Amino acid sequence: MSPDFYSHAAQLASAGQTFAIATVVRVEGSSSARRGSKAIIDGQGKLLAGWVGGGCAESAVKSEALKCIETERPQLITLDLRDEELGVGMPCGGTMDVFIEPVLPKPTLLIVGHGRIAETLAKLGHLMGFYISVNDAAADQRAFPDASQLVTDDFDLTETPVGPKTFVVIATQHKRDHLWLQKALEGNAAYVALIASRHRAKLVLDYLAVAGLPQHKIASVHAPAGLDLGAAMPEEIALSIISEMVAVRRGGRVAPLSLRESDLEGKDAADVVIRHCEAQG
């Protein structure tokens, strides 16, 4: 494969673009592509570079690449090139396996506020592969060495955009937390959490309801933030929040790995987890 192919992929990744790399890993019989052939497909399904076969084979790879980008998961597909009716419409006389790997920009962890919990969240988020953005007037680079973006002057809340790939944790100590929540929900953030007591969280969520935000959006707010790990120290609270973020991002069940699939079948998962924990002492 030409070095230009890898340069192109590196440029796309550096620019934070979404794309997929398709690689032919097996060819049996006749095929226009060869084992090792590669292609770059962007987030709109356009082939930007490389070659994995022409006609309907290329079309099928593009279609599957979009699915991989959507699910954020790699996939190995088999293309049947032997007939038009059962395969991909190219009677070339063979089959071909193609491995498709999505390349996605880092999701953003936007931390609003400062303090020990926020600082630990930034460290853990960096380890988990998030782009770290911190927005707080009292924040500085020494406290947030892993932050790629540090905003200390943002009165109208415009310096840190929020989108579907943004995870927002609000640790403002009640300073404009209702405004940040509204911004995060209106931006359709992937995850929105408020670090607050249950009493304070209810007051803020009630404010959002009065402000006219849809109930389903308000219900999506994680408040109080984090999983119930029995956390007491700031670092433990940060761990419970980052664990909840990972569960949301990866579609996790939030249950002990030692539980078997059969333990959860036809039962209330929360009750099973509680009984399991009690059994462990």
131 and 20 within one domain: no
129 and 18 within one domain: no
Enter the tokens of residue 87.
Answer: 């395969």
Q: Which of 36, 19, 20, 24 is nearest to 81 (CA)?
A: 24
94 and 8 within one domain: yes
pTM: 0.77
Question: Which of the residue ranges 156-170, 201-215, 263-277 would you say has the lowest mean pLDDT?
Answer: 263-277
Give 94-133 pLDDT, tens digit per residue: 788 999 999 999 999 999 999 999 999 999 999 999 999 9
Among 69, 87, 103, the domain boundary falls at 103
What are residue 5's phi and psi, to 5 degrees? -60, -50
124 and 95 within one domain: no
Q: How many domains does the chain have?
A: 3
Among 103, 135, 158, the domain boundary falls at 103
Q: Which pLDDT does position 274 carry in this prediction?
A: 45
Q: Which of 265, 113, 263 is nearest to 273 (CA)?
A: 263
Say how far apart CA 216 and CA 27 lie, in whole Å: 49
Q: Which of 132, 130, 128 is nearest to 118 (CA)?
A: 132
266 and 238 within one domain: no
172 and 99 within one domain: no
State yes or no: pLDDT of 280 exceeds 80: no
Q: What value does the mean pLDDT take over residues 33-47?
A: 91
The share of the chain scoring above pLDDT 70, in percent, equals: 86
| Secondary-structure breakdown of the chain: helix, strand, coil percentages, each rounded to the nearest 5 | 35, 20, 40
Say how far apart CA 178 and CA 201 lie, in whole Å: 10
In the block, tokens 């009165």 appear at 155
State yes or no: pLDDT of 270 exceeds 70: no
184 and 235 within one domain: yes
DSSP strand pairing (166-171 vs 19-29): unpaired
Looking at per-residue confidence, does 83 or 37 come out higher?
37
205 and 275 within one domain: no
144 and 67 within one domain: no
184 and 80 within one domain: no
140 and 13 within one domain: no
243 and 140 within one domain: yes
Q: What value does the mean pLDDT take over residues 18-31?
A: 87
What is the extent of the structural domain holding 33? 3-103
The share of the chain scoring above pLDDT 90, in percent, equals: 55
- The confidence band for 87, taking pLDDT boundaries of 50, 70 and 90, is very low
- The confidence band for 1, taking pLDDT boundaries of 50, 70 and 90, is low
CA dihedral for 60, 63, 64, 65, sign (positive or negative): positive
Among 41, 73, 103, the domain boundary falls at 103
State yes or no: pLDDT of 272 exceeds 50: no
